[in-house]
């Protein structure tokens, strides 16, 4: 499904990195991408592990670089902890305005636990 999304990693120590994935950006699909991240080991930054774990991820300058995304996921990495915030983007195609509606704020693990559906997504995304 062509549900586009961006995945931004804001890291106070290592700098920021954003990725674009052209499909399966709805929460259940994003949970699959984040699940792959969690299973990718501990070597490298969180952004690097996300990129290595998801071969469909592309580097992008930022979420504003794609005017047709439906979702934006922001992972904030700080010495005090890690937080995932998910936004569903509602666009007004006539005016060009976009409203970012917060649909999640919490841990990556809790996001995956809530939205990952192994029965529905395993075959589709070729993971086990």
Handedness of CA 19, 22, 26, 29 (dihedral sign): negative
Question: pLDDT tier at 128 (50, 70, 90 boundaries)?
Answer: very low
Sequence spans of domains, the chain: 5-122
Mean pLDDT of 3-28: 94
Instruction: Report pLDDT for 64.
Output: 84
The answer on pLDDT for 8 being more than 90 is yes
For the chain, what is the total number of helices (H) and then of strands (E)? 4, 6
Question: Per residue in 110-127, pLDDT tens?
Answer: 999 999 987 655 545 454
Question: Per residue in 56-91, pLDDT tens?
Answer: 999 999 888 888 899 999 999 988 889 999 999 998
Question: Per residue in 30-47, pLDDT tens?
Answer: 999 999 999 999 999 999
Spatial contact of 36 and 10, defined as CB atoms under 8 Å apart = no
On the CB side of 15, how many CA atoms lie within 13 Å of its CA? Answer: 5
């Amino acid at each position: 499904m062509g549900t586009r999304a961006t995945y931004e990693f804001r890291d106070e120590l290592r700098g920021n990195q954003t990725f674009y994935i052209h499909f399966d950006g709805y929460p259940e699909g994003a949970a699959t991408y984040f699940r792959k991240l969690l299973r990718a080991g501990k070597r490298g930054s969180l952004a690097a592990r996300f990129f290595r774990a998801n071969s469909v991820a592309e580097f992008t300058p930022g979420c504003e670089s794609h005017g047709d995304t439906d979702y934006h996921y922001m992972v904030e990495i700080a010495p005090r902890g890690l937080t995932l915030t998910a936004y569903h983007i509602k666009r007004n195609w006539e005016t060009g305005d976009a409203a970012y509606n917060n649909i999640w704020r919490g841990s990556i693990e809790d996001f995956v636990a809530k939205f990952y559906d192994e029965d529905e997504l395993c075959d589709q995304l070729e993971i086990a």
